[in-house]
Amino acid sequence: MEISGVAALVTGAASGLGAATAAALAARGATVYGLDLPSSIEKAAPGDGVVLLPADVTDEAPVKEAIARIADDGAELRIAVSCAGIAPSARILSRKGTHDLDLFHTVLKVNLLGTFNVMRLAAEAMSRLEPDAQGQRGIVVNTASIAAFEAQIGQIAYAASKAGVAGMTVTAARDLAQYGVRVMTIAPGIVDTPMMAGFSDDVRAGLSAGVPFPQRLAQPSEFARLVTMIVEHDYLNGETIRMDGALRMAPR
């Protein structure tokens, strides 16, 4: 799949993995439409080739409006990358009582339902495009986490949501194969995003020390580079790729 000259939809594009991915795709010649919450967009400084649009990924209407905007601009949506997500921490049982059910529901709604919502609507738009020489119309890249496979204490809701994203991958690829739409998932380890900025140097050093090699936190630019590689590698489909430096998370 060629990146230059097509449109890309990136969620969570105001910061972190989404911002890095949006910038990388724009640098390769894509016109990028980034979705994020209004409060996040207010703090963002998107680069050339990136248009930020306010949208809650769990809501059908604004995602549909963003996709309609792409068509109205005369662009072809062939790349969709879901990076929006939240990661609150809570145990099933603690001194405060049982895990809050509304919190569990919210994490599943944002991370899993939001990813599915964007995937289904983006795939619908891609299905109406002319295929390339290989019959390909587009690609969806979703974001899971290594927590989908071995999450830590307090990550029950996050783990469930990200396991759901990873679990959708091969089925989604099979569902959309007839339309020439590929589906891939990236499961990152510990990435040096703005969320990590609040941790002390000692905590960050401890996290880095747990990574076998390279013994450091991953960079958002490395996630973005993997996205561009996946987009351009047409035989990658229906798979979840770990990007974690061989890290296997300990219980805590």
Report yes or no: 107 and 162 within 8 Å, Cβ to Cβ: no
**pLDDT tops 90 at residue 205:** no
- Alpha-carbon gap, residue 65 to 85, rounded angstroms: 20
CATH classification of 7-190+223-243, choosing from 3.90.550.10, 1.10.10.10, 3.40.50.720, 3.40.50.12280? 3.40.50.720
Residue whose pair of structure tokens reads 């990388």 in the numeric block: 24
Confidence of residue 159 (pLDDT cuts 50, 70, 90): very high
- Catalytic residue, from 33, 158, 179, 235: name it: 158
- In three-state secondary structure terms, 176 is helix
**pLDDT tops 70 at residue 96:** yes
Confidence of residue 198 (pLDDT cuts 50, 70, 90): low
- Of 69, 68, 65, 60, which Cα lies nearest the Cα of 116? 60
- Of 6, 5, 10, which Cα lies nearest the Cα of 140? 10
**pTM assigned to the model:** 0.95
Residue whose pair of structure tokens reads 């989908």 in the numeric block: 148
What's the confidence (pLDDT) of residue 23?
A: 98
User: Per residue in 4-54, pLDDT tens?
Assistant: 999 999 999 999 999 999 999 999 999 999 999 999 999 998 889 999 999
Average pLDDT, the chain: 95
What's the confidence (pLDDT) of residue 200?
A: 74
Confidence of residue 249 (pLDDT cuts 50, 70, 90): confident
Q: For the chain, count helices (H), then strands (E).
A: 9, 9
**pLDDT tops 80 at residue 199:** no
Report yes or no: 30 and 47 within 8 Å, Cβ to Cβ: no
Helix, strand, coil percentages for the chain (3-state, nearest 5): 45, 20, 35
User: Per residue in 116-152, pLDDT tens?
Assistant: 999 999 999 999 999 999 999 999 999 999 999 999 9
Percent of the chain with pLDDT over 90: 90
Within 10 angstroms of residue 177's Cβ, the number of other Cβ atoms is: 14
- In three-state secondary structure terms, 76 is coil
Report yes or no: 158 and 151 within 8 Å, Cβ to Cβ: yes
Q: For the chain, give every domain's residue range.
A: 7-190+223-243
- Please, what's the largest Cα pairwise distance for the chain? 60
**pLDDT tops 90 at residue 70:** yes
Active site residue 158: yes
Confidence of residue 83 (pLDDT cuts 50, 70, 90): very high
Least confident of 102-111, 176-185, 208-217: 208-217
- Alpha-carbon gap, residue 109 to 115, rounded angstroms: 9
- Alpha-carbon gap, residue 69 to 244, rounded angstroms: 36
